[in-house]
Amino acid sequence: MNALRLLLRDPVATFGLAIVLLAVVVAIFAPWLAPYPDDAFESHLLRRLRPPSAEHPFGTDNLGRDILSRVILGTRNALLVAVSVVVAAMAIGVPIGLAAGWREGWLSETLMRVTDVFLAVPQLILALALGQLLAPGIAAAMVALALTYWPFFARTVFAETRRLRSALFVDALAGIGARPSRILFLHVLPNAAPAVLVRATIGMGFTILTAAILGFLGVGAAPPSPDWGLAVSEARQHLPEAWWFPTFPGLAILLLVLGFNLLGDGLRDAADPRLRRSRR
């Protein structure tokens, strides 16, 4: 709770937190908040490409669907993708980082070299390739993103584990017979938690952006689901006349990614106990 107070003292981070919380609320209550919840899948060809008006504040798209409703309904998708991708990436990266940091020798070397290979390949390219390889769709995009993001967690946790491996408190724990898994998860991992948390938060923003790019390139979400990246992609054919069509989904992407990044930066400053003292 101490960390939260420090976070709220930073106006920029608070702004980021507000955006993220707003997005979470919108995602949870999306079907009730959207003025035309059925427009997720229903089209009204007679109302297509109407500019913003009182009836449709964000206008309508090429199939006559209310864009505001689709932006609201798309929030749920965006957050779901972000959270599951980051959780999956952590589930892969954290144990690998712990194991590689704890052990010495071939196992550690192998794990870290594999990590380096994944780090060296540009993420978007790898995600595109994996997305194409599996059947295109939101699930494939999520698998691809998780498989490209875990090395960041592995590296972060590896560095911290290596630093603490020979610390006296670790030796003492081993001395009284604590098993490595207990030492690693209960005593070493909490030291890496601030760094992991920051990575995860920034990873959320990154994932939303990359998922949108994949959607735009046709490897992510498939029509007619209300995906922001997909909407921007569909809008291309109707530019420059229907400016509102790509603008509002695009702004939603921008805002949420910005929110996660600002929050991540704020967390980094607030949550690391070693940095905390210098801020007092």
- Residues of the shown chain interacting with another protein in the complex, contacts defined by CB under 8 A: 105, 164, 166-169, 171-172, 174-177, 187, 190-191, 193, 273-274, 276-277
Complex with another protein: residue 44 or 187, whichever CB lies closer:
187
- Pair 272, 193: CB distance under 8 Å: no
CB of 246 to another protein, least distance (A): 46
CB of 172 to another protein, least distance (A): 6
Complex with another protein: residue 144 or 192, whichever CB lies closer:
192
CA pair distance 256, 229, nearest whole angstrom: 13
For Cα atoms 66, 70, 75, give the angle at the middle one, nearest 5 degrees.
155
Closest CA to 149 of 196, 109, 110, 106: 196
CB of 209 to another protein, least distance (A): 32
Complex with another protein: residue 237 or 278, whichever CB lies closer:
278
CB of 190 to another protein, least distance (A): 4
For Cα atoms 111, 85, 248, give the angle at the middle one, nearest 5 degrees.
140
List CB contacts of 216: < 8 A, sequence separation 6 or more: 229, 230, 232, 233
Complex with another protein: residue 4 or 133, whichever CB lies closer:
4
- Terminal CA-CA length for the chain: 16
Q: 3-state SS of the chain: helix, strand, coil percent to 5? A: 75, 0, 20
CB of 187 to another protein, least distance (A): 6
CA pair distance 272, 29, nearest whole angstrom: 33
Complex with another protein: residue 172 or 255, whichever CB lies closer:
172
